[in-house]
Amino acid sequence: MQKHGLTYSHGGASYDGDPPVVLGTVTGPGRVIEITGASVCPPLCFINLGSANVVVRIECNMSLASPTSPFVPDSTLWVNAVKAADITLTAGETEVFYMANQIPFWRTNIISLAPGGNLISFANYILDRTGKWLRAKYPDSQSALWRLE
């Protein structure tokens, strides 16, 4: 079981027995983070740990998750969450973006990076409707049921 509240899209520790999430050293999307049940907008943090610029896009998806493994939402329905703007992080720069709690699925997508750039991105704890603190999670077999609550 994960011993901290971080759920990674790019880079980080393993989660409930899954392998660690790969550090963002190549272009492409990170792992999907699910925030269903959040009563407030939780932060998505991203950090350029490298020595060169990284251009990242924050993406969200409102579709239902697949009811079969790997339980992710429709891959054709990812949209840029920051009004058509990509974010450039210089070496060592940190940014925070608050995810709309009405949208269940989020990820970071590395658009470009200079040699030496790398990205780590993660969501922290979320506050549920009962006031309980929970971790953001990765989609699982229950993810396709979230709209039935």
10 vs 121: CA distance, rounded Å: 5
Residue 134, Ramachandran bin (φ over 0: left; ψ between -120 and 50: alpha; else beta): beta
Domains of the chain (ranges, CATH numbers) = 7-140 (2.60.120)
The predicted model gives 93-107 an average pLDDT of 93
pTM value? Answer: 0.88
Residue 20 in this model has a pLDDT that exceeds 80 = no
Long-range contacts of 129-134 (CB under 8 A, 24+ apart): 129/37, 129/39, 131/39, 133/5, 134/37
**Mean pLDDT score of the chain, rounded to an integer?**
86
